[in-house]
Amino acid sequence: MFLCPHCNKPGITLIRKLFLGPALPATCKSCHKKVGVPYLSTFLACTPIIIAIFVYDYFDTFLLKGIILLSAYIIMTIITIKWVPLIPK
């Protein structure tokens, strides 16, 4: 669980943080206030997917394309978990 920026108690689950967006806030399970993520951090976390989309056509085999997309998704997930902050909404 991640700490809520309102009450500093664990109130946001891992799955919920992964699906948070600037326009899609979550509700803290402890204080029931809205929590979101900043626009810029979300965009930066999506950068690996954007890069993967641009280099996707340069690979011929389906296996390499799958590895590129899966790697980008894993990197995006790690960035979101570690470096995308939760902010009060």
**Residue pointed to by tokens 């664990």:** 10
Q: What is the pLDDT of residue 19?
A: 92
pTM (two decimals): 0.86
Separation between Cα atoms, residue 8 and residue 88, nearest integer Å = 11
59-86 average pLDDT score: 95
Q: What is the pLDDT of residue 6?
A: 97
Q: What is the pLDDT of residue 12?
A: 96
DSSP assignment of the chain: -EEPTTT-SEEE-HHHHHT-BTTB-EE-TTT--EEE--HHHHHHHTHHHHHHHHHGGG--SHHHHHHHHHHHHHHHHHHHHHH---EE-
